[in-house]
Amino acid sequence: MAGGDHNYFYLRRLHSLLGIFPIGIFLFEHFFSNSFAFQGPERFNTLVETFQTIWITPILEVAMIGLPILFHAVLGLIIVYTSTTNFVPYSYYRNWMYFFQRATGLFALAFIFLHVYSARIAPLLEGRHVTFLDMQKIFHPAWAKWFYVIGILSAAYHLTNGICTTLMTWGITVSPRSQRITAVASWAMFLGLGAWGLLILRAFL
């Protein structure tokens, strides 16, 4: 077997691992810090300022989030390209989850790109940090609200179903019973995470 062929296994395991750590962990952290929006614009703005003036933040942003997502997304796109959908004749639970994992991955990619651009890169180019008011402006058009709703739910689904499949991929949940339990737990987590994200969105409206 060719050397590159051998590395494929490592690349796929890395893809799977990165989905949880650091990307999945970051999603929680991101929801957590943005929850300061619940306490009003001042608290939110202070938090952003505090975070962004720590010297290590940009390094962490690139090394712990940017690059891992880039790798996960590039290999993810290849994986999506090699997949097909057949949930019409074979309408089974996990087959639908397979489809949605890929669909939400694609949507999350577009969402993350625009979100990072408008909330981080655009203000950066103007030499400042994003504020509560900026976020309100971003959310202003009706389509933006819907874009965020779907984006947040996509990310939440992609992570929670991804936890289920990661457990299978790594051979932790082997029996149908254990896979059923994690599936139920992941839906509970999806509801929690999705609701949390949408509440944060509402705090800005």
Partner 1 sequence: MKASVRLKVRRQDNPKSTPYWESFEIPYRQHLNVINLLMAIQENPVNEHGQKVAPVVWECSCLEEVCGSCTMIINGKVRQSCSALVDQFEQPIVLEPMSKFPVVRDLRVDRRAMFETLKKIQGWVNIDGYFNLGPGPVLDEKIRMKCYEYSRCMTCGCCCEACPQFNSRSPFIGAFAFGQVHLFNSHPVGKFDEARRLDSIMGMGGLADCGNAQNCLRACPKNIPLPDAIAELGWTTTKRAVTRFFKE
Position among 53, 56, 81, 143 found at the interface with partner 1 (CB under 8 A) = 81
Position among 47, 60, 79, 150 found at the interface with partner 1 (CB under 8 A) = 79
Position among 124, 169, 187, 198 found at the interface with partner 1 (CB under 8 A) = 169
For CA atoms 25, 173, 70, 95, the dihedral sign is: negative
23 interface partner picked from partner 1, ligand HEM, none, CB below 5 to 8 A per type: ligand HEM
Task: Give kind and range of the element (H or E) at residue 1.
Answer: none
Binding mask 106-135 for ligand HEM (x = CB under 6 A): x-xx--x-----------------------
If one asks whether residue 48 binds ligand HEM (CB under 6 A), the answer comes out as no
Rounded CA-CA distance 20/23 in Å is 6
37 interface partner picked from partner 1, ligand HEM, none, CB below 5 to 8 A per type: none
Position among 170, 184, 192, 202 found at the interface with partner 1 (CB under 8 A) = 170
If one asks whether residue 173 binds ligand HEM (CB under 6 A), the answer comes out as no
Residues 6+ apart with CB under 8 A from 35: 196, 200
Position among 55, 84, 126, 127 found at the interface with partner 1 (CB under 8 A) = 84
Under DSSP, the state recorded for 129 is: -
Least distance to ligand HEM from the beta carbon of 111, Å? 8
Rounded CA-CA distance 106/154 in Å is 9
Q: 3-state SS of 28-95?
A: HHHHHHHHHHHHCHHHHHHHHHHHHCCCCHHHHHHHHHHHHHHHHHHHHHHHHHCCCCCCCCCCCHHH
Name residue 6's amino acid: H
Chain positions contacting ligand HEM, by CB under 6 A: 16, 19-20, 23-24, 27, 72-73, 76-77, 79-80, 101-102, 105-106, 108-109, 112, 155, 158-159, 162-163, 165-166, 169
